[in-house]
Homo-oligomer: A and B are copies of this chain.
């Protein structure tokens, strides 16, 4: 039995567990860990994990894949604590909303025999916690796959395969590029939402404003109800890109302000019309189309298992300096898949 361990059983970790369990992977056990023991109990009760372990070390020591789904700033310490216990060729991935620092930490802290492949499901809710976990949270959503420099090709494919398995669209992207892009489409909206709510809420006329506020105000301020810890982590770990986009947003708003102040009615009308047309086009296009590479990723539990096993063998073989001449280590599982030797599948 191969083990996938989810560290951090909140909304994202819990939803990942539920989605993986829903895929009914044969020979795969989903193990969970959370410092919050109540969350751990809930995760078991909700069926997001097969079991939980009482310590980080026990949860991760035998895992073929470790998924870090804790708050971003906690990931550094988790990496430190699990690094020495990770087995050879373990694949470590994460779900952090920013990727540069996490990738940097992985490079510094994880041992070279481990492949780190960052991940970021472009899905969320403003309601945090395991209680809001949902197996379908990732369906149809983009899932950024951010390989670290030392990640093996099959580790990258495996993480993309997991994304695919849970219904998401793997999108391969560089960590810095990722952070600049999500600053625009995810973090700027977050700050806008929070700033808009704070501004209006802070008005002495708030009771009247609240009575008049309708769906527009509620939609625009929805992200202000998001987990403040997450918002804070995002700001800390993507500071420069967010500052950049905030400055551009201030410029854009000042442009609207100027047009209003100068009564440039025609220009204003053009702006609104252009935005409407472009947004309607964007909305009509639907979610991102599947990239070519996603057809190449495993989408079945069998292949997942085979890849786990094959990867482990291949890495071991490379490190031993000889190809396929070493059998899998005795203490660890060496499952066969459909009666075929894992070596054979790896060579494919």
Given contacts A243-B257, A246-B256, A275-B201, contact A192 B196 (CB under 8 A): yes
A123 interface contact, C-beta 8 A:
yes
- Mark A175-194 against chain B: 1 for CB-CB distance below 8 A, else 0: 00110111011101111111
In this complex, which of A182, A220, A248 has the most chain B Cβ atoms within 10 angstroms of its Cβ? Answer: A220
Question: Do A186 and B214 have beta carbons less than 8 Å apart?
Answer: yes
- A203: chain B residues at CB < 8 Å are 184
Given contacts A192-B220, A199-B248, A201-B282, contact A124 B185 (CB under 8 A): no
Given contacts A195-B256, A260-B242, A276-B225, contact A216 B250 (CB under 8 A): no
Q: Say how many copies of this protein the assembly contains.
A: 2
A247 interface contact, C-beta 8 A:
yes
Q: Interface on chain A toward B: helix, strand, loop, or mixed SS?
A: helix
A279 interface contact, C-beta 8 A:
yes
Given contacts A188-B196, A253-B192, A253-B195, contact A212 B275 (CB under 8 A): no
- The stretch from A107-115, A227-235, A297-305 touching chain B is A227-235
In this complex, which of A193, A250, A252 has the most chain B Cβ atoms within 10 angstroms of its Cβ? Answer: A252
A58 interface contact, C-beta 8 A:
no
- The stretch from A37-45, A157-165, A266-274 touching chain B is A266-274
In whole angstroms, what is the CA distance A273 to B235 when docked?
A: 14
In whole angstroms, what is the CA distance A192 to B190 when docked?
A: 13
Q: Which of B141, B260, B276, B288 is close to A228, meaning CB atoms less than 8 Å apart?
A: B276
Question: Do B194 and A181 have beta carbons less than 8 Å apart?
Answer: no
A79 interface contact, C-beta 8 A:
no
Question: Do B249 and A195 have beta carbons less than 8 Å apart?
Answer: yes
Q: Which of B141, B250, B271 is close to A214, meaning CB atoms less than 8 Å apart?
A: B141
In whole angstroms, what is the CA distance A122 to B225 when docked?
A: 22
- A177: chain B residues at CB < 8 Å are 208
Minimum distance in angstroms from A15 CB to a CB of chain B: 14
In whole angstroms, what is the CA distance A298 to B258 when docked?
A: 46
In this complex, which of A191, A257, A275 has the most chain B Cβ atoms within 10 angstroms of its Cβ? Answer: A275
Q: Which parts of A275-309 form the interface with B (CB within 8 Å)?
A: 275-276, 278-280, 282-283, 285, 288
A74 interface contact, C-beta 8 A:
no
Beyond contacts A180-B205, A194-B271, A250-B253: 11 other A-B pairs, Cβ-Cβ < 8 A, are: A173-B208, A184-B200, A191-B253, A197-B275, A201-B282, A210-B282, A216-B223, A224-B275, A239-B263, A246-B253, A253-B253
> Can you report 25 residue pairs joining A to B where beta carbons are below 8 Å apart?
A122-B212, A124-B215, A173-B208, A180-B205, A181-B208, A184-B199, A184-B200, A185-B209, A185-B213, A185-B214, A186-B212, A191-B253, A192-B192, A197-B279, A199-B249, A216-B222, A219-B220, A226-B276, A232-B265, A232-B269, A239-B260, A239-B261, A239-B263, A243-B257, A250-B250
